[in-house]
Amino acid sequence: MYRTAAKRLLGGARYYYSTNFGLRCQPPQKLVLSSRFFTSEPQPFPDPHSINRGIPVVTTTEAPISSDSASSSSSTEDGAANPKTNYEDQQARVLQASLPYVIKLGWTEAALIAGARDVGLSPSIVGSLSRKEAALVEYFMDDCLQRLVDKIESDESLKNLTPSDCISKLIRFRLEMQAPYISTWPQALSIQAQPANVPTSFKQRAVLVDEIWHAAGDKASDIDWYAKRTILGGIYSTTEIYMLTDSSPDFRDTWAFLDARVKDAFNIKKTIQEAQSLAEAVSVGLGNSFQGFFGKGFQR
């Protein structure tokens, strides 16, 4: 799903998206060693000093596999896999049900316990989350990212917008998802800034920025790719911070601030391109002047 060079930026590993558990590196496949063969009995090593040394013979017997045993084996494997799947589903249900309580209780274990009770599960399931508050914030970030991707894939009007308008619209759409949690969002930012949570937070924001640039039609693959995403990441973060102190109706000042920052970024890019063109023109002009000057000197 994630396009362009974001995969290279995130360490070359393959990532998959899950609305339940966020962005993680795909776990390596387990190598299951099994054999249907067994030796009938252990064979002793021959005496090296014996005169009649023969080659030890190891007899093997293939254990028959009946249809009943095969079916029971497959059902056992399914039964072993289902508890884990069900447990992960239960965790996802708890995280989803906890979000409405975040507005009042914050990004806390108390919100998780309330969510567990809402879905009819024991609050003890909260203990299975290794990073309780961080897991809740990361679940919310992943859910918002999925909704943004759905918006990009379903909204055909984005293709008719200029890159700057498309970027402004998508950043606004994404930040509007945080509006209901604005009173507790400083706590979420502090959780994301903790050293143990920084890698996941960085990956989530990197993929977010890459999705927005791709929707705006960017197909860069050189050093410009990194520069664009760094600039857009800065615009997103500064707008996010500005939003925390905005008391205007419907965050009107925030969206004006966002539009101005995006416009400034594109103007800077245009200014740099114009400066490069001017420098190239000046260098060409100086080269022709010097060539003409030396040509006249040699003619003399």
pLDDT of residue 112: 94
Residue owning tokens 């970030």? 141
Q: List, in order, residues 6 or more apart from 119 with CB less than 8 Å away.
A: 90, 93, 94, 97
Q: What share of the chain is helix, strand, coil (3-state, %, to 5)?
A: 70, 5, 30
Q: What is the per-residue pLDDT across 47-79, written as a single tens digit (0 to 9) for each? A: 544 444 444 444 444 445 444 444 444 444 544
Is the separation of the CB atoms in 56 and 45 below 8 Å?
yes
Q: Which CATH architecture has domain 132-284?
A: Orthogonal Bundle (1.10)
Regarding beta strands 15-16 and 24-25, do their DSSP bridges make them parallel or antiparallel, or are they unpaired? antiparallel
Q: By C-alpha distance, which of 138, 132, 90 is closest to 111? A: 132
Rounded to the nearest 10 degrees, the angle between the axes of helix 132-154 and helix 109-118 is: 70
Rg (CA), the chain: 31
Q: By C-alpha distance, which of 175, 184, 164, 151 is closest to 254? A: 175
Task: Point out the residues of the chain with pLDDT beneath 70.
Answer: 1-85, 269-300
pLDDT of residue 284: 57
CATH 1.10.357.10 residue ranges of the chain are 132-284
pLDDT of residue 271: 54
First to last CA, the chain: 69
pTM for this model (two decimals): 0.66
pLDDT of residue 123: 87
Q: List, in order, residues 6 or more apart from 167 with CB less than 8 Å away.
A: 212, 213, 216, 232, 262
pLDDT of residue 266: 85
pLDDT of residue 260: 94
Whole-number Å distance between alpha carbons of 64 and 235: 66
Rounded to the nearest 10 degrees, the angle between the axes of helix 132-154 and helix 67-105 is: 100
Q: List, in order, residues 6 or more apart from 116 with CB less than 8 Å away.
A: 94, 97, 98, 122, 123, 125, 126
